[in-house]
Amino acid sequence: MVLWWIGNAILLFVVLPVVIYLLNRVLAAMERIRAAADDILAGGVALAGELEDVPAGLARTDQVVRDVAVGATRYAGSVAKLLG
């Protein structure tokens, strides 16, 4: 019976505080991860809001590329006539 009381005392004064300490560390790390994930989500939502103008910008860029290609083709044709 005495060994039973000694075992209970060891459990209460040694093992339980260690378990509580380790659990506290795990929960603190989990809270930091949750905060980082929330920040990432907020940044992703803000970035998604900035992407609304992308299709119009790409259409304008495509038109500029076509215009440059037409000009370059005309220039290359003129140079070919001069050199040929």
pLDDT tens for residues 31-64?
999 999 999 999 999 998 888 888 888 888 989 9
Could you give the CA distance from residue 21 to residue 27 in angstroms, rounded to a whole number? 10
Which structural domain range is residue 45 located in? 2-83
Query: Which token pair is 29?
Result: 């790390």
Query: Which token pair is 80?
Result: 């070919």
pLDDT in the model for residue 53:
84
The one-letter amino acid at 70? V
**pTM value?**
0.53
Distances in Å between the alpha carbon of 35 and those of 26, 40, 42, 45?
14, 9, 11, 15
Could you give the CA distance from residue 63 to residue 68 in angstroms, rounded to a whole number? 9
Indicate the pLDDT class of residue 83, thresholds 50, 70 and 90.
confident
| Total structural domains within the chain | 1
